Copies of this chain bind each other. A is one copy, B any other.
C-alpha cells in the first residue's frame, strides 16, 4: 500500500547518494529516480514538488541530466510547459558520463603530466632530473594504459563487455601460468 511510497523514496535516496558520490550533486540522481519511476513525463513544477525543492534548483539539475543524456524533454501540444522523461538505456548513460565527465578530467590531468615531463626535459641533466623523469614516464605509461581501457569500454557495447567478463570469469586452465 504505502509500501510503494517507501520503495520510491528508498530508490530516490539510493540514486541521489550515488550521483552525489560521482560528483553530480545529490538531487541530480534523485531527479532521475523520480523520472525513472514515473510512467508519464513530468513537468518542472511536478519534479520540484516530488522532491520538495524549488523550481530553480530543478532547472539547473535537469540541465545537467540532459547534457549527460540521462533525460529527454518532451513537449505536449498546446502546453507551454516542458516535460521530462528518463533515458532507459543505462549503458548509453554510463558511456556518456564516462566520456563527458571522467574522460574530460582524465585528459586534463594527462595533459598536465605531459607538460610536466616536458618541463623536466628542459632542465639541465643530472641524477635528480633523471630520477624525476623516470618516475614521470612510469606514470605516463599507466595513464596510457588506462586511456586504452577506457577507450575500449567506450567503443564496445554492453553485450561484448558482458561477454568479456564471462570469458574472464571462467578461468581456462591454459590461461594463468605463473
Over the window 87-121 of chain A, the binary record of Cβ atoms lying under 8 Å from chain B Cβ atoms (1 yes, 0 no) is: 01011001000000000011011001101110110
Q: Mark A121-157, 1 if CB is under 8 A from B, else 0.
A: 0111000110110011011001001101101100110
Interface stretch of the complex, out of A5-13, A56-64, A72-80:
A5-13
User: With contacts A1-B124, A3-B122, A168-B155 known, is A145 near B162, CB below 8 A?
Assistant: yes
Q: A134 to B25, alpha carbons, bound, how many Å?
A: 26
Q: Would you call A52 an interface residue if the criterion is a C-beta within 8 Å of the partner chain's C-beta atoms?
A: no
Interface size on A, residues (CB 8 A): 65
Least distance between A49 CB and chain B CB atoms (Å): 18
Residue numbers in B under 8 Å from A115 (CB-CB): 10
Q: Is the CB of A18 within 8 A of B109?
A: yes
Task: Using CB atoms and an 8 Å cutoff, list the residues of chain A in contact with chain B.
Answer: 1-4, 6-8, 10-11, 13-15, 17-18, 21, 23, 36-37, 39, 88, 90-91, 94, 105-106, 108-109, 112-113, 115-117, 119-120, 122-124, 128-129, 131-132, 135-136, 138-139, 142, 145-146, 148-149, 151-152, 155-156, 158, 160-162, 164-165, 167-169, 175-176
